[in-house]
Structure 1
Amino acid sequence: AVMLLKMMRKQHPIPEVLVVVKVSGQPKQIISQLLKMRSWELGRTSGPFPILQAGQSIGEQPPYPILDASWRVAVNFGRFIAALSAQDVKNNVQPMIISSLPGSEYFVFNTSNKSFRIGNTNPLHWEPPPGSQYSRMLNYAQVFMTLHIVLSAVVIVRAGTVGVLTEFGRTTGVVFEPGLHFRIPLIQNVVIYSTRKVIYEASAQPDQSRANYTDFTVDTTSSDGQQIQINYTLRFYIDKSKAVWIYNNIGNMDDVAEKVVKTETRSLVRNIPKGYTAAQLYGIHVFEVQEQISQELDPRFAANGVVMDEFLLRKIDFTAEYFETLEEKQIAEERIEIERNNLEQEKIRKEQTIVKAEAEAQALRIKGQALRENPQIIQLEFVTRMAPNIKWGILPETGVIPFLDITQQAQETGQPLVPEEK
């Protein structure tokens, strides 16, 4: 009512229509209270309604009052909105028809032709003059609403998705394949599920990820008590044959990601690595953990209408203290390895010496055996080993050895055999 009053004031300086409304079985009290008028009563009529000139009686049975320009009447929609005085009536205000509450009777004073009208109305119905600005606005609104209803009936299901048709929130059992479909506006709705591969990723900076659904890393511990953070990526899609079941038991696509994918993956990623040491998770056992998680996720997803395409452990982050300990351990292991290599080298040299000595002893044994069996070899060996620069000769066994007696010669000459030191 306030909006209509503002619209009328925009087109005309003051309201154009004089209306008295009967809203209950006690019109005397209502009119006296709301309209500040003398006590009178409107009777019921049935159309068509007569148009009378000012000052004339509306009818004989039942009696109707005779109105004149001195009466004060009001525009009323169940609440007091505005009132017109006799001066407003004298100014010949242009009329517009305004209606009231359901089943109410109205009484209109038409100042353009000085006539009255009585009748029943529809709730809050306003009929602007044909061709006016408000009439055109009403036509545009009707066209817009019609187009909106028609277009809302059209449903386009894109490639890589399926749509579950619902009616008043309940599934109809109909699943729309990609293409053009129709629904009943305001009654039926279509819930879309993706049959393409959807990426769910847990990382330290989820806001920088380009995955369809993101989450933070999983915090857990290894079997030896080391704190670790696990980053992983998961690809999945909806089994279109289970789309209706998913709607009835889980919800929409976001509910699938939250209630199935997130819940199942984070639980397994948190618990399975606890069976491995930090060193194993730092090494090649990470692939074993990844495969174990993937195998356990597959049946859990399938039970909820979700197909798991691939699970990947992207990264396992350890604490800074663990890396320091790991570095010290690696240095110690490298030193042990160096000492082990040195020990192995000593063993090899010892074995080489033993082998060499055994070879020499074996050679001597063989040589001694040969000498015992062939004594002449000794003479041959003696001759062979004599230095080439030694002058020597062989005397016959019966010959005289020409040795000089230097002792006798020293006695005769009086000189010592060995010269004295000076």
Structure 2
Amino acid sequence: MGEDMQFRWIKKLGLAIAAIIVLFMLTPFAIVPAGHRGVLTTFGKPSEQVYDEGLHFRWPLAQAMHLVGVAIEKGEGEGDAASKDLQRVQTRVAINYHVKPEAAVAVYRDLGNQPGERIIVPAVHEAVKAVTARYTAEELISKRAVVRDDIVAALKERMSRHGLVIDEFSIISFNFSKTFDEAIEAKTTAEQLKMKAERDLQRIEVEAQQKVARAKAEADALALQRQQVTPELLRLREVENQAKAIEKWDGHMPSTMTGNAVPFINVPAAK
């Protein structure tokens, strides 16, 4: 009796699950979530209408709603290429793109709803190799923004044919051979030493000019002083010197004179 009850319970559970599956398959509605567009197929054939986000009617079993993502997708990748001067370059890039909502049917039908694998990846590799070959290794570094713009232009032409739009494209890095990196480092060092030598030379020239200017100023000052020395000025200086000597005299006359000078006569001091 217990086994029969257990069997009946399992049977009911199975029937309930089967009923849920049937109801799910027979539901006449399909939901298109945010960030997607719907492509309705009737016995596998897609319609030309693009279904927006929301709830849509469909014929159970005969029709199915397939979702195509139209939100921004991000991809990164790297690949090898050769520069114009035949330097090996490994480039790492990042791209943000999305599917045009109105192109959802074409993306589902022509690209198998896999735009990243079928278009983005090969298109990026091809564009990077083609553009890299136009520039020398040094130009890839110095003209990075121009190189990026050229790659984007090449990608847009191909991607637009398949209903894809580039939102952002970035060159993450350029990696060169060890020999080339060492050559660039040596060149950079030489340029820095050259700039330092030029700055030192400019400093020396400026200091020399300053010395010449100071010497000229001193010479001009001496010349001006000579022009200002007149007989009247000399007499004035002589009078000033005599006045200073009188101020310093203590009132006593010297008793003897050195050399051939005649000694002064001793004059009794006044009482």
If the length of structure 1 is used for normalisation, what is the TM-score?
0.46
Shift in Å, 1:314: 2.0
- Please list the CA deviations of residues 329-350 of structure 1 after superposition, one character each: whole Å capped at 9, or x if unmatched: 2222222222222212211121
Q: Tell me how far apart the structure 2 counterparts of residues 306 and 191 of structure 1 sit (CA, whole Å).
A: 18
- 2:107 is the counterpart of 1:246: yes
Shift in Å, 1:199: 1.5
Q: Which has the higher contact order (CA 8 A, sep 6+)?
A: 2
Query: Contact (CA 8 Å) 2:82, 2:132: kept in 1 or not?
Result: yes
- 2:168 is the counterpart of 1:310: yes
Q: 2:137 aligns with which of 266, 272, 278?
A: 278
Bigger proportion of residues as helix: 2
Equivalent position SS for 2:48: strand
Q: Tell me how far apart the structure 1 counterparts of residues 107 and 133 of structure 2 sit (CA, whole Å).
A: 32
Q: Tell me how far apart the structure 2 counterparts of residues 352 and 272 of structure 1 sit (CA, whole Å).
A: 53
Q: Tell me how far apart the structure 1 counterparts of residues 57 and 238 of structure 2 sit (CA, whole Å).
A: 119
Q: Which residue matches 2:118?
A: 259
- 2:188 is the counterpart of 1:330: yes
Equivalent position SS for 1:253: coil
Computing the radius of gyration from Cα coordinates, the structure with the larger value is: 1
Name the CA shift for 1:382/1:192 in 2 (closer, same or farther; >3 Å).
Answer: farther
Q: Which residue matches 1:348?
A: 206
Q: Which residue matches 1:221?
A: 82
- 2:102 is the counterpart of 1:233: no
Query: Contact (CA 8 Å) 1:193, 1:252: kept in 2 or not?
Result: no
Q: Which residue matches 2:248?
A: none
Q: 1:411-422, aligned counterparts within 5 Å? A: none
Q: Tell me how far apart the structure 2 counterparts of residues 158 and 218 of structure 1 sit (CA, whole Å).
A: 35
Equivalent position SS for 1:304: coil
Equivalent position SS for 2:111: coil
Shift in Å, 1:299: 4.9
AA partner of residue 194 (structure 1): G
Name the CA shift for 1:227/1:375 in 2 (closer, same or farther; >3 Å).
Answer: farther
Shift in Å, 1:194: 0.3
AA partner of residue 67 (structure 2): I
Query: Contact (CA 8 Å) 2:40, 2:65: kept in 1 or not?
Result: yes
Q: 1:172 aligns with which of 26, 43, 47?
A: 47
Q: Tell me how far apart the structure 2 counterparts of residues 343 and 198 of structure 1 sit (CA, whole Å).
A: 56
Query: Contact (CA 8 Å) 2:81, 2:133: kept in 1 or not?
Result: yes
Q: Which residue matches 2:264?
A: none
Shift in Å, 1:232: 1.4
Q: 1:12-411, aligned counterparts within 5 Å? A: 144=18, 151-154=24-27, 155-178=30-53, 179=55, 181-185=57-61, 187-202=62-77, 217-248=78-109, 250-254=110-114, 256-283=115-142, 285-371=143-229, 374-377=230-233, 404=260
- Please list the CA deviations of residues 52-88 of structure 1 after superposition, one character each: whole Å capped at 9, or x if unmatched: xxxxxxxxxxxxxxxxxxxxxxxxxxxxxxxxxxxxx
Q: Tell me how far apart the structure 2 counterparts of residues 363 and 242 of structure 1 sit (CA, whole Å).
A: 88
Name the CA shift for 1:355/1:149 in 2 (closer, same or farther; >3 Å).
Answer: same
Shift in Å, 1:168: 4.3
Name the CA shift for 1:347/1:188 in 2 (closer, same or farther; >3 Å).
Answer: same
Q: Tell me how far apart the structure 2 counterparts of residues 335 and 282 of structure 1 sit (CA, whole Å).
A: 21
Query: Contact (CA 8 Å) 2:58, 2:64: kept in 1 or not?
Result: no
Query: Contact (CA 8 Å) 1:290, 1:313: kept in 2 or not?
Result: yes
AA partner of residue 184 (structure 2): L
Shift in Å, 1:272: 2.5
Shift in Å, 1:351: 0.6
Q: Tell me how far apart the structure 2 counterparts of residues 342 and 220 of structure 1 sit (CA, whole Å).
A: 42
Query: Contact (CA 8 Å) 2:92, 2:173: kept in 1 or not?
Result: yes
AA partner of residue 260 (structure 1): I
Shift in Å, 1:161: 1.6
Q: Tell me how far apart the structure 2 counterparts of residues 228 and 377 of structure 1 sit (CA, whole Å).
A: 85
Alpha-carbon RMSD across the aligned residues, in angstroms, is: 3.7
Equivalent position SS for 2:80: strand
Q: Tell me how far apart the structure 1 counterparts of residues 84 and 226 of structure 2 sit (CA, whole Å).
A: 69
Q: Which runs of 5+ in 1 are unaligned?
A: 1-132, 203-216, 390-401, 406-422
Shift in Å, 1:150: 5.0
Q: Which runs of 5+ in 2 are unaligned?
A: 1-6, 246-257, 262-271
- Please list the CA deviations of residues 356-383 of structure 1 after superposition, one character each: whole Å capped at 9, or x if unmatched: 2222332233334334xx3444566789
Q: Tell me how far apart the structure 1 counterparts of residues 37 and 66 of structure 2 sit (CA, whole Å).
A: 8
Name the CA shift for 1:384/1:327 in 2 (closer, same or farther; >3 Å).
Answer: farther
